[in-house]
Structure 1
Amino acid sequence: MNNSIFFDHIRVDNYSSTPKYLQLAYAILSAVKEGKFQKDNILPSLNELTNHLEISRETADRGYKYLRYLGILKAVPGKGHFISTTEISSPGRICLLVNKISEGKSIFYHELIASLGNYIPIDFYVYNNDFFLFKRLLNQRRDYSHYVILPHFFDNQDEAEALIDSLPKDKLILLDKRLKRLKGNHSTIYEDFEGDIYQALEKALPALEKYHTLKLILHRKSYLPNEIKRGFNKFCQQYAFERAILDKVDHVELNSGEVYICVNDDDMVNLLDKVSTSAFVLGKDLGIISYNEAPLKKYIAGGITTISTDYKQMASLTAQSIKENTPQHIALNFCLQLRGSL
């Protein structure tokens, strides 16, 4: 096979978090499936792959080894690699778009891979809550079998929803958040933001009883929905706590009897700095609750109490939706981890 024909169909995307050796392997699989490459075609050498695709020799070798493992390629010493079969059964290709990297998203990603196995390629993109980067990434999409999207944006929410609404609904799985204006029969695996914070604080009520005031720190320009504020206010009204919603902690004056609920980890760290230079004892004079569980929070300051989405459950339900290819709308579990900070 002419190398120019090969490289017309094979690309490695530097924006994708999918390992480059897998991108190479899946691109070759797709070309074989589409009839672009035929049985017994000789593929470019490792050196040619390295030069044309600007990847390392090790990456090229791993890509070919993976295809040999699948039985698609064979290697003949002195001649190179050739396509041994065009009989390929592919389960599809997934486009995963998340708003940011975090401990929870990392847990989700690795659990999703474990649930799906190595035979379903995932193109993993991070758009940093930026609609225009999201649009650029989505507009260069391939013919994916599924689009898995966490739809959190700082701005241009309406435009983002319209773009998502243009995707085939039988291929769409929304995570973390419901988009009520979307039409069609798609899947949603979501948080009940209002109910989750209310129920988590209700579970923590025995530990909260020694405090009189709860303060939610949620930035005005946040991608998170206002339902969090509604659930927080509802809980405080129901159980007669004084309350406040703060935009930031820079100028917060600490007071005994107060609990601070930090949606953002940077705010939690700033609060811990303030506590460390004060006479207050964390978990006795004042408390901290942090959103989103992470391994280090078990050990920071004697243990930080967390309320968090179950990201492992999110991954297993996403994998189930992909495998069964049936629309579903499921609310995720929300977990409370009581520790010394409360």
Structure 2
Amino acid sequence: MKEAAFTFKLDESSAQTKMQQLIHAITEAISNGALHEGDFLPSVNKLSRESGLSRDTIFKAYTTLKHRSVIASTPTKGYFVSNESFKVMVLLDDFSAFKEQLYGSFRNALPENYTVDLLFHHYNPDVFEQLILNGLGRYSMYVVMNIRDERIEKVVRKIDPNKLLILDMGSPGVDEMAYIIQDFDEAFKSCLEQGLERIEQYQEFNLVFPASTPHPKMAIVAFNQFCEQHQLKGTVIHHLKDQPIQKGQVFLVIKDDDLVYIIKACREQGLKLGEDVGIISYNDSPMKEVVGEGITVISVDFEEMGEKAAHFVENKQKIFEVLPPRLILRNSL
């Protein structure tokens, strides 16, 4: 084992503490291959002389990294890199069937020496901010499902853009932030066009769009444009449980709770799904292939999204991609 040529330069303008900056510099050096398993770090005294940091700050940083099993020490030779694994922060909005598909394909596509911390912000800006700030400098890569909030964008930009991937929702920008997001506008309307012949068999087309959903509101605009273009009786429903389920209606639902409500209402009233009442659900999952003899969905391929995200994390090659959803016709329409 040899002492690696590791150097550290303090950034006085950084929002991070001196200890956090040193921890980040060491984990970054491991992540980009400048430090390898078995390489020795400078001694506390040497690094103090070279960097200007106090011995106490360096000792605390080394101790923190030892607790995280990133480095180890011997009484006679000092501190060395003990684990060349790469730690990834995955911050999702909530847990659902299609998020499970996404995460499963992401995790399976990564090598074994990558460890992943899976966290959830549940669309709470305070939780989102705290998780991001707590994670700064602790991970080699960050995969984040964003929240549409100006305050949150400032928090996200604290992450090194070379280590950050935005998933699912967002707006393609002109800066360096990588993304894999959905098309909620033109491709969404294209999916409705593909199902037009079946939608026209019903007397009324309803978009169930709860006021609390984080789903982009551009879907409402696209829905209204589609209905106007094809002279369909289209209605946007914000509170489904205030509305009766009647024969001749077709529903486009965003949330699975509303999907379940419609299916149960049809069973209670003796309405046949796919004939008397139609359903299109947003976001596919294995369960929707079998429920009610199959639920028609508009969905991106979340396994593909997970695989692409893993490729970014492993190879650190930036990706700027908008995934189009597709219409998967099943018996509910």
Query: Same fold by TM (over 0.5)?
Result: yes
Change (3 A) 1:33 1:200: farther
- Per-residue CA deviations over 1:44-78 (Å, capped at 9, x if unaligned) read xxxxxxxxxxxxxxxxxxx99xx9xxxx99xxxxx
Residue 98 of structure 1: how far off its partner (Å) = 0.3
Match of 1:137 in 2: 131
Match of 2:303 in 1: 312
Match of 2:238 in 1: 247
Match of 1:167 in 2: 159
Amino acid in structure 2 at the alignment position of 1:334: P
Query: Retained in 1: the 8 A contact 2:93–2:120?
Result: yes
What pairs up with 1:197-216 in 2 under 5 angstroms? 197-216=188-207
Amino acid in structure 2 at the alignment position of 1:114: N
Structure 1 unaligned residues grouped into runs of 5+:
1-28, 38-62, 74-84
What pairs up with 1:4-83 in 2 under 5 angstroms? 35=41
Structure 2 unaligned residues grouped into runs of 5+:
1-34, 44-67, 73-78
SS of residue matched to 1:148: strand
SS of residue matched to 2:245: coil
Distance 2:95 2:282 in 1: 15
What is the aligned counterpart of 2:91 among 84, 92, 97? 97
What is the aligned counterpart of 2:144 among 149, 160, 165? 149
Residue 292 of structure 1: how far off its partner (Å) = 1.4
Residue 163 of structure 1: how far off its partner (Å) = 0.8
Distance 1:142 1:162 in 2: 14
Amino acid in structure 2 at the alignment position of 1:146: M
Residue 183 of structure 1: how far off its partner (Å) = 6.9
- Per-residue CA deviations over 1:108-153 (Å, capped at 9, x if unaligned) read 1111111112111211111111111111111111522221101136
Amino acid in structure 1 at the alignment position of 2:189: Y
Change (3 A) 1:229 1:215: same
Distance 1:150 1:196 in 2: 20
Change (3 A) 1:209 1:183: closer
Distance 1:97 1:87 in 2: 27
What pairs up with 1:256-267 in 2 under 5 angstroms? 256-267=247-258
What is the aligned counterpart of 2:217 among 226, 236, 241? 226
SS of residue matched to 1:175: strand
Q: Percent identity, aligned pairs only?
A: 24
Query: Retained in 2: the 8 A contact 1:169–1:184?
Result: no
Query: Retained in 1: the 8 A contact 2:274–2:331?
Result: yes
Residue 221 of structure 1: how far off its partner (Å) = 2.3
Aligned residues: 271
Match of 1:287 in 2: 278
Amino acid in structure 1 at the alignment position of 2:254: V
Amino acid in structure 2 at the alignment position of 1:216: L
Change (3 A) 1:102 1:36: farther
Distance 2:112 2:147 in 1: 28
Change (3 A) 1:210 1:123: same
Query: Retained in 2: the 8 A contact 1:112–1:316?
Result: yes
Residue 34 of structure 1: how far off its partner (Å) = 7.7
Does structure 1 residue 112 correspond to structure 2 residue 115?
no
Match of 2:17 in 1: none
SS of residue matched to 2:135: coil
Change (3 A) 1:289 1:31: same
Residue 35 of structure 1: how far off its partner (Å) = 4.1
Does structure 1 residue 272 correspond to structure 2 residue 263?
yes
Amino acid in structure 1 at the alignment position of 2:250: V
Residue 335 of structure 1: how far off its partner (Å) = 2.6
- Per-residue CA deviations over 1:177-233 (Å, capped at 9, x if unaligned) read 1246x6730111010111232122112223223123211111112211111112211
So what's the TM-score if we normalise by structure 2?
Answer: 0.73
Distance 2:154 2:216 in 1: 18
Distance 2:228 2:140 in 1: 46
SS of residue matched to 1:282: coil
Match of 1:18 in 2: none
- Per-residue CA deviations over 1:26-51 (Å, capped at 9, x if unaligned) read xxx999778499xxxxxxxxxxxxxx
Amino acid in structure 1 at the alignment position of 2:106: L
SS of residue matched to 1:214: strand
SS of residue matched to 2:276: coil
Change (3 A) 1:184 1:199: same
So what's the TM-score if we normalise by structure 1?
Answer: 0.71
Distance 2:140 2:91 in 1: 14
Residue 322 of structure 1: how far off its partner (Å) = 2.1
Residue 279 of structure 1: how far off its partner (Å) = 4.0
Match of 2:4 in 1: none
SS of residue matched to 1:250: helix
Distance 1:32 1:138 in 2: 30
Match of 1:56 in 2: none
What pairs up with 1:175-190 in 2 under 5 angstroms? 175-179=167-171, 184-190=175-181
